[in-house]
Chain A
Amino acid sequence: MKKRKKGARGFNSVMIVWLCATLFILLFPIFAIILMSFNTSKYGALPFEFTLKWYKQLFQSADLLSATGYSLWFSILVSTSAAVLGIMASMALRRMSRKWNKAFPTLMNVPVIIPWLVQAVALLLLFNLLGIGKSFASLYFGCLVAVMPHSFLITYSRIMTMDKYPEEAGRTLGATSMRIFLDITLPMVFPAVLSGWLMSFVLCFNCFSIQYYLAPFGTYTLPMLIYTMIRAGYNPDINAIATILTIVIAIVIFIMNKIGFDVGQLVGQGHKEK
């Protein structure tokens, strides 16, 4: 009996080896980069000698830091817009007929399926036609188109599975629709909105192909700058910035976990229903 239970719940040795191999392949490059950012050798050669000179170089060269700053505030802007639009679309769609309830999320899935490169080229053509070409507006809308479906789909699935009776109870108690939204609906969908926001943030930060095609000349986001730098010749201060970003993201996930959102919840259905 005990043995069967163990077999059903735990891992056998083959699976453990497999798991370790998978985790190694997934995580080794990240650790390698973190290690290399502290290594003296420019080309990642061994033996390992500890140094902080790449960090010093990073903070002295204005390029990487300003590009990081630009990427950060730009991603915050885009993911916040996506979150707001995601809530608005979900709220509206909830009141529509079943036909739209099926059709619209499917339509919203299209940008998820189409490769970003194709989307970027298509958007560039469209923006050229509209006369705004490569500009901040086209960069903003291009990234928004790419990330909005994720924010919408997460919020929407939460809002559709959510218990609607607390809102009705609010109405019978005399609350106007605005108050119900602020007091009841928004707090109830908030975990989903937050996870949608995080998802959009990460995607927007990383969507190199769209940024590459749509960013105005002279504007560099972090992925664009790294690409340019690698083309010109690899420089280990890229490792340093990658390390800083990895650590910041790890801390954010750790904090989110501590305040009660587990990672599965964040990328899944949001708040668990009892």
Chain B
Amino acid sequence: MSEIKIQNISKSFGSACVLNDISFEVKNGHLLSLLGPSGCGKTTLLRIIAGLEYADEGSVFVGERDLTPVPVEKRNIGVVFQNYALIPHMTVFNNIAYGLKIRKVKPDIIRKKVQEYISLVGLEGMTDRKVTQLSGGQQQRVALARALIIEPDILLLDEPLSALDRKIRAEMQYEIRRIQQQVGITTVFVTHDQEEALTMSDEILLMHNGRIEQLSTPKDIYNHPVSLYASDFLGKANTLVGILEFRDNGWFVSGDGWSFQVCPQEGFTAGEQVYLAIRGEQVAISSEPTDNSAACTIKNIIFTGEICRLMVDLQGTAMTVSCINVLADCFQIGQTIHIRVDPNITHYFKTS
């Protein structure tokens, strides 16, 4: 169990630069998510940490050990792959025991340890099944047990849940987090699903085109995104174009027929054109105008379960506002509502 230190990793495939000078650290026992859209280099980065791919530049440290020159089979790293990567002709027992057999552990110790890890991942009674007979969730549990049984220094998970259906995925998110915390292993988790990253991580590293966009805790990265990209990727913010103004002792971003109060941010001057990012669920809705509110018309109401999305028209700009299901009954299509934002969690970004 040790911390991970990544220093100045760069990697190109031909002329395409996949990773550009990436450095970060994961604290001992923490779970860090590498989050980003497909093609942003997150899987390549994970494979470099695992040793399945080599970086052009930079180094990987686990604890005090420099792993950069060490081949994958000597790194002692647990990896769980997207498609489980179970050995299809082996039973559950043999898959989990494989790493120990390679290490020439005595058979009776192997049997004891496999039992221990089978109960850790909740697969009691399946020991002698063929892995091809298991469901996706069960296969993922086998893969997790197989990676953990060798007592690796760190654990790497490459989109382990993307092949599962929604319900099992939620269950496995919880399971993986529980097991990770129980074992106390430092973990890097690759995902393209922002919700998954927010639920599971101690820290999220948001990647964009081979660079680090933002590295922070889930709450911080959600409430205080550093860029328009970050605010859009985590939670789909509405983006409005407006002019930054200073009046009545406060800062405002105003557009055609609307004006929202914001907090001052460094590096901006009054009169500048900015992008204002407003999250749909951070908007306060009322039927009467209030201070600093803006009027808009409801164009459509979409029911999604827990929440309802109101598609509104803000003086010609389309916006999506969310409210919890029970409140949605007060609204009808065509009605005028007044929306207001909380300046403390509303951010604006440079247009250039």
The chain A residues found within 8 Å of chain B, CB to CB, are: 163, 165-166, 168-176, 179, 183-184, 187-188, 274
Contact = CB atoms under 8 A, between A and B. Distances in A.
B233 interface: no
Interface in B40-96: 50-52, 72-79, 81-89
Given A168-B81, A169-B81, A174 B87 contact: no
Contacts of A179: 102
B132 A187 contact: no
Contacts of A165: 81-85
B82 to A, nearest CB: 8
B189 to A, nearest CB: 16
Contacts of A170: 87, 98
Contact of B98 (A163, A176, A183, A274): A183
Contact of A174 (B50, B84, B85, B150): B150
Given A173-B150, A174-B102, 8 more contacts: A169-B81, A171-B72, A172-B73, A173-B98, A174-B73, A175-B73, A188-B88, A274-B132
B85 A169 contact: yes
Nearest to B83: A165
18 contacts: A168-B52, A168-B85, A169-B87, A169-B146, A170-B98, A171-B72, A172-B50, A172-B51, A172-B72, A172-B78, A173-B102, A174-B103, A175-B98, A176-B73, A183-B87, A183-B98, A188-B88, A274-B132
A171 B52 contact: yes
Interface of A: prevailing SS: helix
Interface of B: 50-52, 72-79, 81-89, 98-99, 102-103, 132, 143, 146-147, 150
Given A174-B76, A175-B73, A274-B132, A187 B89 contact: yes
Contacts of B78: 172
A163 B87 CA distance: 10
Contacts of B87: 166, 169-170, 183-184
A171 B102 CA distance: 10
Nearest to B87: A166
B73 A171 contact: yes
B45 to A, nearest CB: 16
Contacts of B147: 172-173
A7 B85 CA distance: 42
A95 to B, nearest CB: 14
Contacts of B88: 163, 166, 188
B196 to A, nearest CB: 21
Contacts of B73: 171-176
B173 to A, nearest CB: 22
B314 to A, nearest CB: 48
A188 B131 CA distance: 14
B220 to A, nearest CB: 32
A68 to B, nearest CB: 35
Contact of B85 (A166, A175, A176): A166
